[in-house]
Amino acid sequence: MNAVELTTALKAKAAELGFALCGACPAISPPGAARLREWLAAGYAGEMHYLSDRAAAYEHPGSVLAGVQSLLMLGLPYRTVESAKVAAGQGRISRYAWGPADYHDVIHDKLHALADYLRALSPLAKVRGVVDTAPLLEREFAQLAGLGWVGKHTLLIHRERGSWFFLAALLTDLPLAYDTPFATDHCGTCTACLDACPTDAFPAPYVLDATRCISYLTIELRNAIGLELREGLGDWLFGCDICQDVCPWNRKSPATNEAPFMPEPEQNPVNLSELFALDDGAFRERFRHTPLWRSKRRGILRNAALVLGNQRDPNAFAPLVAGLNDSEPLVRGASAWALGQLNISAAQTALVARRRQETEPEVLTEIDRALGQSSSGDGE
């Protein structure tokens, strides 16, 4: 097969596997490598130290596959139904995590099938499939492969598909027939995504300060979420879709029929009280094979407590008291803050009782703050 025939065959197989978007580009140093260095230097990566630890690897896709000549960039849509309304006691999760499976597992299976197909066509070929875990600037290469442009919210946008899709890549040492890079920015003067962000996570168009992003705060951050950012979380338990929900390019993006992305009944939205009844084993059983596993039990319960605190519903008292007495200090601290938001006498009583036995300084600070007194007080 020549490069054109091989690329045509690969694109047909990719479509058969469910990838709605597919384009090829050469393996070159991505134009955005310098911007990545500037972004890291500005501190916008927060605690995602793995980005800076392997910053040099992002300079060229050869760090992912030695001898790579080409990348086949792929897009797998995940838009299904619309978000359900959230009532008191419920929380939102980003729509990509509504289904029964982790998208990494779903896409890896498809990439393995596509890689095997390439090897069948060219047995001596080197090939590797990756999805957002390798040091690869996927959006840069997707734009080079003609799939779309990077919007002001820093996500790739396709004219028909919007931004509701995962990006993946198949790297090979074979030459392919390359698509024309997407050269036009169709965001225009629109600033809907920037204006809608409740935590002001965009210091400038096309720049995301991850340390203020709800997705980062609820998924990547392992410690307590800053006081000034908690109210901005609103109802978000895991991830955030706000900047995509308001994007005009997403208004008419088609839905997918991929079964692993169809929402589970308890995921859209989530009953928060039930989460506080899950021990480590029960949490593992429910979430082990879903994206929520990344935050672990302590992170999800921290987030759940903050959402309940934002909702200020007195019916949240019982689960928050359970959180206040949880084995994890992170959960106890968030629950203390949330109980303080309820502003009911029973919450004050529970906080005082917990303070008598609490030994973690961070939790004591949260309790004292919730009680409206300095950390030097006795809580009585």
E-only strand ranges, 2-155: 21-26, 70-77, 90-93, 127-130, 149-150
Amino acid at 181: P
Task: Let me know: does 81 contact 268? Beta carbons within 8 Å.
Answer: yes
Task: Let me know: does 319 contact 273? Beta carbons within 8 Å.
Answer: yes
Q: What is the rounded (10 degree) CA torsion for 336, 340, 345, 347? A: -20
The two structure tokens encoding residue 239: 């991830």
Distance from C-alpha of 366 to C-alpha of 331, rounded to nearest angstrom: 11
Distance from C-alpha of 339 to C-alpha of 147, rounded to nearest angstrom: 47
Closest by Cα among 336, 259, 331, 323 to 101 = 259
Closest by Cα among 206, 211, 197 to 143 = 206
Task: Let me know: does 238 contact 291? Beta carbons within 8 Å.
Answer: yes
Closest by Cα among 12, 23, 26 to 117 = 12
Q: Which residues are marked as active site?
A: 132
Distance from C-alpha of 302 to C-alpha of 71, rounded to nearest angstrom: 40
Task: Let me know: does 164 contact 253? Beta carbons within 8 Å.
Answer: yes
